[in-house]
């Protein structure tokens, strides 16, 4: 019964290579992992996962780090429907957090150079719809896709047009937004290819994933007690949820497979539409972020358009 809740991935989900090496393996019943899951989810149903290994593989071709055993749709419904997504967490965010969304949307809209009310947006994997609601506030025609029934109900109550996976192909979007989504997908290549079909010829798709910077250092230590955001944090390879850990090379290989080309919002636009400088930390972030994105090649924020090839 337990194994029916997991699928085994035999090849790299990004490039399809079968040349993968094992870099870590442990049973979910081991104390460190068990404690991590309790901290992350409260009291998850340990019986569902006790007989499965947490196994990390690394693709020798595109360098993607991925979990070998991934939850089926049945287990995913439990993880995202009852284990996570509590409204209490949602309500804890402050003004500074939302200002990042407004800044992000303004920069993308300026890059598209279209009147906001003419921009049709899909927020794929919208969660509580925080980003979607901000885009709606700017006048965009916003649609959302989500698997959590709790989040869907909240979004609909607040005017977001929620559609199903199957409905996506009936629309064409100027902007497809995916934030903290592709690290969760068992078949990222299949999903991206499907989304691409609903991108307008001059549209863009944004992909934001956990930052893989320093992951080799963290994997050498495997400190499950390290808090999220710390130098030793294992959040980019979080069990059950972050089943793909993208390096820049692996992300660009994924998008190359579906003929998408990376574009970068000009630094001039990024600085022009940076609108909150309330703390020294935020001011420093505002100054260096365009440099990270456009010059140094940040490993967790990407924008793509259709390739002409």
Confirm if 59 and 101 have CB atoms less than 8 A apart.
no
Q: How confident is the model at residue 87 (pLDDT cuts 50, 70, 90)?
A: low
Q: How far apart are CA 102 and CA 91, in angstroms?
A: 18
Q: How confident is the model at residue 60 (pLDDT cuts 50, 70, 90)?
A: very high
> Mean per-residue pLDDT for 257-276?
96
Res. 185: pLDDT tops 80: yes
Q: How confident is the model at residue 1 (pLDDT cuts 50, 70, 90)?
A: very low
> Mean per-residue pLDDT for 84-98?
68
Copy the structure tokens of residue 79. 């993880």
Q: How far apart are CA 206 and CA 178, in angstroms?
A: 6
Which CATH code is given to the segment(s) 95-208+259-306?
Answer: 3.40.50.150
Q: How confident is the model at residue 48 (pLDDT cuts 50, 70, 90)?
A: low
pLDDT of 64 reads 97
> Mean per-residue pLDDT for 264-283?
93
Maximum average pLDDT range among 2-6, 127-131, 141-145: 141-145
pLDDT of 202 reads 96
Q: How far apart are CA 19 and CA 190, in angstroms?
A: 20
124: three-class secondary structure by DSSP:
strand
Q: How far apart are CA 135 and CA 26, in angstroms?
A: 42
Res. 277: pLDDT tops 60: yes
Cut 0.85: pTM above it: yes
pLDDT of 113 reads 97
**Beta strand residue intervals within the chain, DSSP E:** 6-8, 20-27, 53-59, 65-67, 69-71, 120-124, 141-145, 161-162, 173-179, 199-208, 244-245, 260-263, 301-306
Provide the CA 206 distance to its chain's centre, in angstroms: 10
What HEC string does 245-306 produce? ECCHHHHHHHHHHCCEEEECCCHHHHHHCCCCCCCHHHHHHHHHHHHHHHHHCCCCEEEEEE
Res. 3: pLDDT tops 60: no
pLDDT of 35 reads 86
> Mean per-residue pLDDT for 238-266?
96
Res. 78: pLDDT tops 90: no
DSSP 8-state assignment for residue 19: -
**Burial of 119 per CB tally in 10 Å (0-12, 13-18, 19+):** buried
Res. 73: pLDDT tops 90: no
Domain positions in the chain: 6-85+215-237, 95-208+259-306
pLDDT of 97 reads 82
> Mean per-residue pLDDT for 115-141?
97
- Point out which residues pair with 71 in neighbouring strands: 6
pLDDT of 88 reads 53
pLDDT of 50 reads 66
Res. 33: pLDDT tops 70: yes
> Mean per-residue pLDDT for 151-179?
96
Q: How far apart are CA 105 and CA 245, in angstroms?
A: 25
């Amino acid at each position: 019964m337990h194994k029916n809740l997991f699928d085994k991935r035999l090849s790299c989900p990004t490039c399809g290579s079968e040349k993968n090496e094992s870099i870590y393996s442990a049973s979910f019943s081991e104390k460190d992992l068990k404690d991590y899951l309790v901290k992350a989810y409260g009291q998850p149903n340990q019986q569902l996962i006790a007989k499965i290994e947490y196994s990390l593989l690394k693709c020798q071709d595109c360098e993607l780090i991925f979990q070998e055993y991934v939850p089926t749709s049945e287990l995913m419904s439990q993880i995202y429907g009852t284990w996570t997504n509590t409204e209490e967490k949602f309500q804890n965010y402050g003004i500074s957090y939302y200002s990042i969304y407004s800044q992000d949307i303004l920069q993308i809209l300026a890059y598209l150079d279209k009147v906001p009310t003419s921009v049709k947006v899909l927020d794929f994997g919208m969660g509580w719809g925080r980003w979607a609601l901000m885009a709606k506030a700017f006048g965009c025609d916003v649609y959302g896709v989500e698997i959590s029934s709790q989040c869907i109900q909240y979004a609909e109550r607040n005017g977001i047009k929620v559609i199903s996976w199957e409905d996506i192909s009936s629309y064409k979007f100027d902007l497809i937004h995916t934030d903290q989504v592709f690290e969760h997908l068992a078949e990222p290549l299949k999903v991206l290819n499907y989304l691409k079909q609903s991108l307008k010829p001059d549209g863009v798709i944004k992909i934001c994933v956990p930052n893989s910077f320093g992951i080799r250092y963290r994997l050498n230590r495997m400190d499950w007690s390290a808090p999220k955001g710390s130098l030793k944090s294992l959040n980019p390879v979080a069990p059950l949820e972050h089943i793909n850990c993208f390096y820049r090379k692996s992300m660009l290989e994924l998008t190359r497979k579906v003929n998408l080309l990376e574009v970068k919002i000009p630094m001039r636009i990024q600085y022009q539409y940076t609108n909150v400088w309330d703390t020294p930390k935020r001011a420093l972030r505002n100054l260096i972020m365009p440099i990270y994105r456009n010059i140094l090649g940040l490993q967790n924020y990407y924008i793509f358009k259709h390739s002409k090839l």
